[in-house]
Amino acid sequence: VQLQASGGGLVQPGGSLRLSCAASGSIIAINDMSWYRQAPGKQRELVARLTGGGITNYADSVQGRFTISRDNAKNTVYLQMNSLKPEDTAVYYCRMSIRRVGDVYVYIYWGQGTLVTVSS
């Protein structure tokens, strides 16, 4: 199983970006899908999470500005980021809990990270 994240880039304050992360491989089911971020010199933090049952959780710092969604048919999670601020600058990582063909247990997978830079 591999996760491929995309959509990062340079954007001005107040702008928008949409991140995508697609899982590929022998997948039976994907439970939680999440986005984390890590700014320079800081620990990785949870940005948004979407459970298999459709429950969402957001970090206080992005509540009302970011929206997480998923396309189960495409094994893909999205993060729509609006009203971006310089403090949103970070490498964004997707994370999924996946059950593979032939497995009983669920395993955690991470994407490679995509850089978001918010600057004028």
Helix (H, G, I), strand (E, B) or coil at 73: helix
The CA distance from 96 to 37, in Å, is 14
Across the chain, which has 120 residues, the per-10-residue mean pLDDT values are 96 98 95 96 97 95 97 96 98 97 93 96
- Burial level of 51, CB count in 10 A (0-12/13-18/19+)? middle
Report the candidate in 90, 96, 98, 97 with the shortest Cα–Cα distance to residue 77. Answer: 96
Q: What pLDDT, on a 0 to 100 scale, did the predictor assign at position 7?
A: 97
Amino acid occupying residue 20: S
Alpha helices, DSSP H, located in the chain: none
Q: What is the pLDDT of residue 110?
A: 98
Question: What pLDDT does residue 103 have?
Answer: 87
The helix (run of H) or strand (run of E) holding residue 36 is: strand 27-38
Neighbours of 1 (CB within 10 A): 16
pLDDT given for residue 48 in this prediction: 98
Quote the CA–CA distance of 84 and 98 in Å, as a whole number: 30
